C-alpha cells in the first residue's frame, strides 16, 4: 500500500540559528520568548482590570518562566499588571528562569518531601511580593486557589485565571514548537520500530517496552508522558499480557511528552502485513478525512462544522463506527483548545497546534482503524508536523 502524504518537515528547517543549534541538545524554553508570553498575559490582566495573577500549575509556570518544577515539587509565580514576574521555587533558585525575582522555600527536610509544599510555596511567593495581595487577583480555580484566601484582602476580589491561560497558551512560539517537534521525532522512531517487530504472536507488553525504549533514546532523557493506546484488536487501552493475532489490526496512539510538551499521533498496523479488502476500504475512508482537514483548515474555520462533515463522510463508509472526537489541540496538556468536537464551538486560530484523528471501528475490522496527524495552523492553512507512513 502506498504512503499517503510525503514528509513536509525536518528539524533543521527551523527558522532561527538559535533554534537550529538546539537540535542535538536538551531543549528548554527561551527566556526572550517567555517574556513575550508574559506580555501576552500582562495585556490580558490590564484588559480585565486585574492587578496580578498567581499561578501554581506546573504547565503555566513553565510556559511563563521556562522553569519546570520537578513533578513531586511545587512552585508558584506572580505576574503583576506592570509586568514584574516573581517565582517561588522549591529548595533553590533555578539556574535559568525568565523572572525578575526568585524566592525559595524548603520542599524537603533531610530529603523527605513535604506534603504542605503548595501552601509553603505560596507563603514564600506572597512574602516576596510584599506580604499581602491587594486589589483584584486572578488565580487558577482548578489548582488550589483556596490556599491563597488568607493572603487576599477580600475574597470578592478573586477572579478565575484558567480560561484566559488556556486561551493564551493556544498560540505556540518557536521554542514550544521545538519541544513538540522533538516529541514528534520520538513517535516517528516508535512507528519505525513498531513496523519492524509487530507480527502474529508478539505480546502487547513487549511492543510497549520496545517503543518506550526507542522514544527515550530519541529524546535523550526520560519522558514526561508516553501515550495511551497500545492494544491490538481493540480501539485502545494500556498494553496487556496478550499476543497479537493473525488478521488483527494494531492501533498505536502515541503521545510522548518531552519536558512537558506533547506529541499525539496514531497509526494502525496490520499484524500480518496483509490487510483485508474491508480493512483497506476503511483505511481509505479515514485517509480521505485527513485530506479534507488539510484542504480546508485555516484561521476562522469552525471546528464543529469540520467534525460534522467528517462524521458524515465516515458514516457513509460504516454507519455509527466513528464514535469519538475528530481531534483536539495539544501542547503542555494532551487535550487543549481547539476542540474538534460538537460539544464545543471553537474556531481555528493562527498558531494552534492540533491533531486530527478520524477512525472506524467494528468487529469485522478486527477491531478498527485510527490515523492521526499533527498540525500547526498558519495564516493561510496548516503545516503538517507529522510525516511517518500511514500504511497499514
Cα end-to-end span (Å), the chain: 7
Positive or negative torsion for Cα 223, 337, 12, 1 = positive
The whole-number average pLDDT for the span 86-107 is 97
DSSP 147: G
Global pTM exceeds 0.85: yes
CATH fold group of domain 31-168: Creatine Amidinohydrolase; Chain A, domain 1 (3.40.350)
Structural contact between residues 324 and 332, judged by C-beta atoms closer than 8 angstroms? no
- The grid coordinates of residue 6 equal 510525503
Q: Give the strand order in the sheet containing 353-356.
A: 336-340, 327-329, 353-356, 373-377, 382-384
Structural contact between residues 203 and 66, judged by C-beta atoms closer than 8 angstroms? no
Q: Which residue shows C-alpha cell 478573586?
A: 158
18-32, 202-216, 304-318: segment of lowest average pLDDT: 18-32
The whole-number average pLDDT for the span 295-302 is 98
- pLDDT per position as a tens digit, 339-371: 999 999 999 999 999 999 999 999 999 999 999
Peptide linkage before 367 cis (omega within 30 of 0): yes
Which sequence spans correspond to the domains of the chain? 31-168, 174-384
Within 297-347, where are the H helices?
303-317
Residue 117 Cα distances to 75, 85, 111, 128, 226, angstroms: 8, 20, 14, 16, 27
DSSP 278: H
- pLDDT per position as a tens digit, 34-60: 999 999 999 999 999 999 999 999 999
CATH fold group of domain 174-384: Creatine Amidinohydrolase (3.90.230)
Positive or negative torsion for Cα 43, 47, 48, 50 = positive
User: Residue 130 — pLDDT band, cuts 50, 70, 90?
Assistant: confident
The whole-number average pLDDT for the span 189-216 is 98
pLDDT value at 135 more than 90: no
Positive or negative torsion for Cα 257, 258, 263, 269 = negative
Q: Percent helix, strand and coil across the chain, each rounded to 5? A: 35, 20, 40
Q: What is the C-alpha to C-alpha distance for residues 196 and 387, in angstroms, rounded to an integer?
A: 18
pLDDT at position 145, please?
57
The whole-number average pLDDT for the span 243-258 is 97
Longest dimension (CA), the chain: 70
Amino acid at each position: 500500500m502506498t504512503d499517503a502524504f510525503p514528509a513536509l518537515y525536518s528539524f533543521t528547517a527551523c527558522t532561527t540559528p538559535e533554534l537550529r543549534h538546539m537540535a542535538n541538545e536538551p531543549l528548554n524554553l527561551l527566556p526572550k520568548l517567555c517574556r513575550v508570553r508574559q506580555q501576552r498575559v500582562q495585556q490580558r490582566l490590564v484588559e480585565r482590570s486585574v492587578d496580578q495573577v498567581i499561578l501554581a500549575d506546573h504547565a503555566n509556570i513553565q510556559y511563563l518562566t521556562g522553569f519546570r518544577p520537578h513533578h513531586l515539587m511545587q512552585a508558584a509565580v506572580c505576574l503583576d499588571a506592570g509586568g514584574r514576574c516573581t517565582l517561588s521555587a522549591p529548595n533553590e533558585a533555578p539556574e535559568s528562569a525568565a523572572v525578575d525575582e526568585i524566592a525559595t522555600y524548603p520542599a524537603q527536610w533531610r530529603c523527605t518531601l513535604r506534603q504542605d509544599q503548595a501552601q509553603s510555596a505560596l507563603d514564600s511567593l506572597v512574602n516576596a511580593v510584599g506580604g499581602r495581595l491587594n486589589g483584584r487577583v486572578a488565580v487558577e480555580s482548578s489548582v488550589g486557589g483556596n490556599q491563597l484566601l488568607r493572603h487576599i484582602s477580600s475574597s470578592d476580589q478573586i477572579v478565575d485565571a484558567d480560561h484566559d491561560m488556556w486561551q493564551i497558551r493556544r498560540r505556540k512560539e518557536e521554542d514550544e514548537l521545538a519541544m513538540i517537534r522533538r516529541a514528534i521525532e520520538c513517535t516517528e522512531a516508535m512507528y519505525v520500530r513498531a513496523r519492524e517487530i509487530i507480527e502474529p504472536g508478539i505480546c502487547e507488553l513487549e511492543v510497549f517496552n520496545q517503543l518506550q525504549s526507542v522514544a527515550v533514546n530519541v529524546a535523550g532523557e526520560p519522558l514526561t508522558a508516553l501515550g495511551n493506546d497500545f492494544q491490538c484488536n481493540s480501539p485502545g487501552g494500556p498494553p496487556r499480557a496478550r499476543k497479537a493475532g493473525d488478521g488483527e489490526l494494531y492501533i498505536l496512539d502515541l503521545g510522548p511528552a518531552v519536558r512537558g510538551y506533547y506529541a499525539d499521533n496514531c497509526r494502525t498496523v496490520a499484524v500480518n502485513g496483509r490487510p483485508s479488502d474491508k480493512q483497506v476500504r476503511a483505511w481509505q475512508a479515514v485517509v480521505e478525512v485527513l485530506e479534507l482537514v488539510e484542504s480546508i483548515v485555516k484561521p476562522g474555520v469552525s471546528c464543529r462544522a469540520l467534525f460534522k462533515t467528517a462524521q458524515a463522510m465516515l458514516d457513509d463508509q460504516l454507519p455509527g463506527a466513528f464514535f469519538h472526537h475528530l481531534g483536539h489541540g495539544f501542547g503542555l496538556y494532551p487535550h487543549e483548545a481547539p476542540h474538534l468536537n460538537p460539544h464545543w464551538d471553537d474556531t481555528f486560530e493562527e498558531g494552534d497546534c492540533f491533531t486530527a484523528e478520524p477512525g472506524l471501528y467494528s468487529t469485522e475490522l478486527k477491531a478498527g482503524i485510527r490515523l492521526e496527524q499533527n498540525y500547526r495552523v498558519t495564516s493561510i492553512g496548516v503545516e503538517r508536523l507529522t510525516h511517518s507512513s500511514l500504511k497499514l
